[in-house]
Structure 1
C-alpha cells in the first residue's frame, strides 16, 4: 500500500503539535498538501479543501462519528478514508459502566437526599451481578466495556452487524436478530453508529419488550432512541430507567422532561471529555500512520455505503 520510504503526510488545517508528534511517532514525515500521499485532518468538514490531489491515497478524520462528513459529500470512493473509531473507546466504556451502575443502584435520588432514608432506598438498589447486558453495536466501545461488565459479574450479549463472535462476550448475535435481544437481556448499552438504518432503532415496540427493571444506556447518538417513546416508558415505569450521554434533540433543552424524571440520568455528551481527546487522537493517528507505512489494514476504515 505504501512505499518503503517514510509516508508523506499533510496535517491540516493547522499544525497541531500533538498530531504532528503522532505522525512522526508513526514513522511519517510532514509535507505540504501538494507533496502528500495521505492527509490527517484535525477539524470538521467545513474547513476541508474542496479538492485534494489525486495522489492522496488515505485521509484520516478526527471524529468517530462521521455523519457531518458524509452529509457534506466530502468522503469519496477515490481513496481510503478512516475515522477515529476506537480512539476514544476506553473513556466511553468507563462512562458507560458508571452510568449503568448509577442507574441500577438508584444513585441519583440517594445523592440528592439530605436525610438518612435507608428503609426507602434499600429495596430500590439493584445489581448487575448475574444479569445479562446487551451491547447493541459492539464495536470498539463495546469491546472495551466487556471487561468492566465481566468484572461486575454480568453476562454479555453482543450485537454486531455480521454476528462474528466478539472476544469476551458470552454470545454474539448478528444485527438481523436484534429483535430477540429486547426480551432476553436485563439491561442495554447502545453503542451503534448513527445511520438512516439505525434512526429510532429503539422505539415503542422495543421498549415494550424490556422488563420493568431494565436500564438503557446510550453513549452513541441520541437519534438511536425515540425520545418521545422513551419519556412515555419512563413516566409509566415500564422500564427501570435510562442513562443518556447523548440525546435527541441535543443539546437537551431546558425544561425537557428528561431533566426531572427520577429514572433518567443525563450527562452532557462528556463520555469523551475534551481533556483526553487530543492525546487519544494522536495515539490513533500514530498507529494508523505506522499501518499505512507497513501496507497493513488501517483502523477505522469508513464504508460510505454503510454510513460509518
Structure 2
C-alpha cells in the first residue's frame, strides 16, 4: 500500500493499525493519497483501490483523476468528518433561530426587540436535503432539543431517526413544509443552485437555511435578494459561492446572514478523523470487505 505524496505519522500508524504494509507506488495494490488532484501520479495497473483525502470529490472529477472506465475502486472521506460538521450545522441553526449575532453585537439592552426575534427549535421540522453522513449525525442532535427531521436522500430509503424520508425527485415538497432547511448534498451538475429564487419563495418567512456542504447549492444572488427583502428568516453559511466570499459582499453585512469561513471541519479534528477512516478502510480492504465511502463515477460523488 502506497501513502503519498506526504506520509504523516498519524496516517502511517493508521495504515499499520488497519493491517496494511507501506510500499513504493510501483509495488502497491492500493493508494492512500494525501495531496491535491494536480499532484496525482499515473497509477500502475495493479492498483485496485485509491483512498482520496476529501469528502467532496468534484475537483477530482474535474481534473480527470477519477478513472470511471476501469475496475479500480475509488473512495472519498465522506462520513469521516460527519460528527464535527453536524455539530457546526447545529450551532449555525441555533445562532440563527436564537438571533444570537445581533445580540452578541449589541451594546445596549433591547429585551423587547430581540425577544420578538428569538425562536425555538423545539417542535420544529428541519429538512436535511442530502442526508448523508453529516445528516445522519445531525438527526440525534436535533432530536435532543425536540426538533423533528425530514430527510431527503437520493434513494428515499428510510433514515433512522427521521420522521419521514423522501427521494431526491420529491425535494420540491420540502421547501414549504419545513420550518428550517440544512443543505448537505454533494456538488454535481444536478444539484447546482438546488436552492434558487423559486425555492426561496416557497419557504416560511421565519425559516433559516444552513449550508455546510458546497456553495454551489445556493443561487447567491437570489439568496441575497430574499434576505434583503426579509422573505425568509435568514441564512447561515459555512460555504459560499463565490468562495472565499469577497470583502464587501452583501452577505457580510446583512443582519440575517451568518458567515463562517469553511471551518465546520476544523484542522484540529480533520487529521484524526481521516486517520480513523483510513484505518477502517485498510482493514476492510485487507479482509476483502466492502469499503466505506465508495465513489460512484456515474453520480459524480
Q: Quickly name the TM-score band, shorter chain normalised.
A: over 0.9
In the alignment, the residues of structure 2 paired with residue 211 and residue 281 of structure 1 have an alpha-carbon distance, to the nearest angstrom, of: 38
- Number of the residue aligned with 1:207: 200
Task: Map Cα deviations across residues 281-308 of structure 1 (whole Å, 9 max, x no partner).
Answer: 1000000001111111111100111110
TM-score after normalising by structure 1: 0.96
Native 8 Å contact 2:6 2:35 kept in 1: no
- Number of the residue aligned with 1:134: 127
In the alignment, the residues of structure 2 paired with residue 87 and residue 14 of structure 1 have an alpha-carbon distance, to the nearest angstrom, of: 20
Match of 1:37 among 16, 22, 29: 29
- Structure 1: gaps of 5 or more residues: 1-8
- Number of the residue aligned with 2:282: 289
Corresponding position: 1:28 with 2:20: yes
Equivalent position SS for 2:268? coil
In the alignment, the residues of structure 2 paired with residue 87 and residue 238 of structure 1 have an alpha-carbon distance, to the nearest angstrom, of: 36
Q: 1:120 offset after TM fit, Å? A: 1.4
Corresponding position: 1:52 with 2:35: no
Native 8 Å contact 2:19 2:286 kept in 1: yes
- Structure 2: gaps of 5 or more residues: none
Moved over 6 A (4+): none
**For residues 225-240 of structure 1, what are the structure 2 equivalents within 5 Å?**
225-240=218-233
In the alignment, the residues of structure 1 paired with residue 162 and residue 36 of structure 2 have an alpha-carbon distance, to the nearest angstrom, of: 35
In the alignment, the residues of structure 1 paired with residue 5 and residue 39 of structure 2 have an alpha-carbon distance, to the nearest angstrom, of: 7
Match of 1:301 among 284, 294, 297: 294
Q: 1:184 offset after TM fit, Å? A: 0.8
Equivalent position SS for 1:269? coil
Match of 1:256 among 249, 255, 268: 249
**For residues 47-196 of structure 1, what are the structure 2 equivalents within 5 Å?**
47-49=39-41, 51-77=42-68, 78=70, 79-196=72-189
- Number of the residue aligned with 1:19: 11
Task: Map Cα deviations across residues 251-299 of structure 1 (whole Å, 9 max, x no partner).
Answer: 0000000000000000000001112111111000000001111111111
Task: Map Cα deviations across residues 6-37 of structure 1 (whole Å, 9 max, x no partner).
Answer: xxx10011222111111011111111111111
What is the alpha-carbon root mean square deviation over aligned residues?
0.6
TM-score after normalising by structure 2: 0.98
- Number of the residue aligned with 1:273: 266
Length, aligned pairs only: 299
Task: Map Cα deviations across residues 144-165 of structure 1 (whole Å, 9 max, x no partner).
Answer: 0001100010110000000000
